[in-house]
Structure 1
Amino acid sequence: MNTYQLTIGDQKRDLPIIPISKDTAIASFVLLGDDALSYAAAKLLLAKLPRQFDYLVTVESKGISLAHDLALLSNHPRSVVIRKSVKSYMKDPLATTVNSITTDHEQTLVLDGNDAARLANKRIVLVDDVVSTGGSLRAAEHLLRKTNCRIVGKLAILAEGAAARRTDIQFIKPLPLFNLDGAIKPVE
């Protein structure tokens, strides 16, 4: 199996290269359960946080541990998670849809109405593990605009493919896309 070696701080991982379409493969980066890597990334992203913000917000699920670590390290001990389905405990949830590069179907993103009320007129930093097409971030921004909050920053561990050219997101490292043979694809 082809792999891509990734180093974040003092953490090294060999990521398996997995096909996701007829001509493209990705280095599969799974943050869930990798607490040491999440913490190392949060320590590096801490310096990229805006000076003034009220809440960290992430989209379920792989960014949750990162948002948790960043919240504790930055002394902002409350973060908000945008969920991928409506839960029975939610009050007046806000919802939108998104298509992701790593999912073969449309997903729903949901913000609990109670969280929406807390975020109203606040300064928000969006946090994610990997930004690729930016679809999840756009959908999250769409939901957050309904709360009248102000997005003051966007952070990710990795920017995949052409996302590494974006200037609106702070990230630690670029992550290439691959051909099916494991060779790095040129950025289009």
Structure 2
Amino acid sequence: MTVRIGGVERTLPSARVGSMGRVPLVEFIGDSEFTNAVAQEMLVMIPEGTEVLLTVVTNALPLTHELSDRSGLPYECVRKKRRPYMTDPLIQDAPSMTLGVAETFWLDSPHAARLKGKKVAIVQDVISSGGTAQTLGRIAERAGGTVVGYLAAFRQGEGALSLPFKYLEKLPATI
């Protein structure tokens, strides 16, 4: 499957994922040209009044960094593993996601403090079921922030989303 964003074209590889069959894979890590093109196109999707972007490691991180660079907004990143330096982190279990893996998300307390009283936009590379977005939203709210929007580079599949997401392009659920 081929996608074209902001004049940059990529043929997406696919991978077999459990009973879902083969799904297209979006990879921003190591692809600066594609990441920059997508970030540039996503700038207009950032809700007015946003004060901080929130994402989760790993693939969405370079995209969020580029959005931060272009918009001038700071960002925070939730981890999927506790790090030894974390002190009193916010911990949030994530539901079983599209890839069939339940996870626990961690946000170190100094990073959580930067969300307090702020209007937060959740940034993802691909939105499918909305489970990761809901988990990030809960973390933002527990930290004292207010979620003002959800955005992703791609929407995968046809399932109903319970969140008002903005995205650039739709990907099929399976290929």
* Match status 1:26 vs 2:26: no
Tell me the distance in 2 between the aligned counterparts of 1:88 and 1:5.
Answer: 41
Q: In structure 2, the residue corresponding to 1:70 is in which secondary structure?
A: helix
Q: Which structure is larger by alpha-carbon Rg, 1 or 2?
A: 1
Q: Which residue of 1 aligns with 2:78?
A: 82
* 1:109 aligned residue: 105
Q: Could you say which residue in structure 2 is the equivalent of 1:186?
A: none
Q: 2:58 aligns with which of 54, 61, 66?
A: 61
Instruction: Work out the percentage of aligned pairs sharing the same amino acid.
Output: 27
Alpha-carbon deviation of 1:83? 0.5
The letter for the 1-side match of 2:87 is: K
Alignment of 1:71-150 (within 5 A): 71-76=68-73, 78-98=74-94, 99-102=96-99, 104-150=100-146
**Structure 1 residues 166 and 147, CA gap change in structure 2 (3 angstroms):** closer
1:165-180 equivalent positions in 2, closer than 5 A: 168-178=164-174
1:37 correspondence with 2:34 = yes
Secondary structure at 1:72 match in 2? helix
8 Å CA contact retained: 2:129, 2:161: no
Q: Name the CA shift for 1:23/1:100 in 2 (closer, same or farther; >3 Å).
A: closer
Change (3 A) 1:120 1:129: same
Alpha-carbon distance in structure 1 between the residues aligned to 2:123 and 2:160: 16
Aligned residues: 174
Which residue number corresponds to residue 8 of structure 1? 5
Q: Distance in 1 between matches of 2:30 and 2:4?
A: 17
Question: Secondary structure of 2:158's match?
Answer: helix
Task: State whether residues 60 and 124 of structure 2, in contact with CA within 8 Å, keep that contact through their aligned partners in structure 1.
Answer: yes
CA distance in 2, matches of 1:18, 1:107: 20
| Deviation by residue 1:146-174 (Cα, 9 ceiling, x = unmatched) | 11211111110000002587771111001
Which ranges of structure 2 fall in alignment gaps of 5 or more residues? none
Normalised by the length of structure 1, the TM-score is: 0.86
When residues 105 and 22 of structure 1 are mapped into structure 2, their CA distance, relative to the original with a 3 A threshold, is closer
- Cα deviation for residue 24 of structure 1 reads 2.5
Q: Show structure 1 runs of 5+ residues with no match.
A: 183-188
Superposition TM-score, scaled by structure 2 size: 0.92
Alpha-carbon distance between aligned partners in 1 of 2:69 and 2:118, rounded to the nearest angstrom: 19
What SS is found at the alignment partner of 1:144? helix
Q: Aligned partners of 1:167 and 1:109: how far apart in 2? A: 19
Question: 1:185 matched to which residue of 2?
Answer: none
